[in-house]
Amino acid sequence: MKILLTGKSGQVGFELQRALAPLGQIYAVDASDCNLADAEAIRKLVRHVRPDVIVNAAAYTAVDKAESESDLAYAINADAPRILGEEANKSGAWVVHYSTDYVFDGTKQGAYKESDTTNPQSVYGRSKREGELGLAQTNPHHLILRTSWVVGAHGANFAKTMLRLASERDALNVVADQFGAPTSASLLADVTALLIQQKQHSEKNRFPYGTYHLVAGGETNWCDYARFVISEAIKAGRLLKVHPEHINPISTAEYPTPAKRPANSRLDTTCFREAFALELPHWQVGLSHILQQIFNNQP
Q: Which of 60, 112, 124, 225 is catalytic?
A: 124
Bridge-based pairing of strands 179-180 and 220-221 is: antiparallel
Alpha-carbon gap, residue 59 to 128, rounded angstroms? 9
Residue 124 is a catalytic residue? yes
For the annotated catalytic residues, the residue numbers are 124
